Amino acid sequence: MEQSLVSAFWFKLKKVNTLCATLSGVILLFMALSITVDVFMRYVLGSPTIWITEVSTYLFLYVIYLATAYALQQGMHIKVTFLRDFFGKRTQRILDLVTSIFAALFTAVLLWQVSEMTWTAFKGNWTSPTMLNAPYAVIHGVMVIGSLLLLVSFVCSIILQFRGEQTEPAGAA
């Protein structure tokens, strides 16, 4: 069976999502190591750093938003299946489709709001009121990227669910 255009796009999007999730993991590793170094410096050497806590707080946004679309494609988002399991396969498919549509609508609103917030920060040249003076547009920009990837992933997933096509490439487990 020939792969649809949406299916082919979904396959490429999954590679981008996987790359972003890998980057998220690298950032998380950096955060863990830098916090460990900061704890050592604070309690053993008595000389804490002034930047690690702030940078780790900002990087936590990157960890979350870069990994959400990957979590969706892997089916790792939290699901409450207690009532769903009482229904047949057809009804479960319809419920999955409806919940995906609502989640996509929520993600669209999220994208709209974080885009406005980021654009306002960019136009106003907002920076953090700390010694680091980090630009908020750069900090919040990852929320736009992550929300966009999540929304596009939801839309592709919904189209594929509606058509009854696989969301996994042939041969994948």
Q: What is the pLDDT of residues 115-153, one digit of tens each?
A: 999 999 999 999 998 888 999 999 999 999 999 999 999
Per mean pLDDT, which range of 2-6, 81-85, 139-143, 164-168 is the poorest? 164-168
Tell the residue number behind the tokens 């498919």, with chain if given. Answer: 93
Give the per-residue pLDDT at 93: 85
| Domain edges within the chain | 5-163
- Distances in whole angstroms, Cα of residue 20 to Cα of each of 10, 33, 112, 143, 151: 15, 20, 21, 13, 15
Phi-psi category of residue 80: left, alpha or beta, with phi > 0 → left and psi -120 to 50 → alpha? beta
Mean of the pLDDT values across residues 87-106?
90
Quick one: which of 103, 107, 90, 100 has its CA closest to 164? 90
Tell me: the pLDDT tens digits for 20-78? 999 999 999 999 999 999 999 999 998 888 889 899 999 999 999 999 999 999 888 77
Alpha helices in the chain (DSSP H): 5-43, 52-73, 89-123, 136-163
SS3 135: strand
Q: Which residues pair with 135 in a beta bridge?
A: 127
pTM score, whole prediction: 0.86
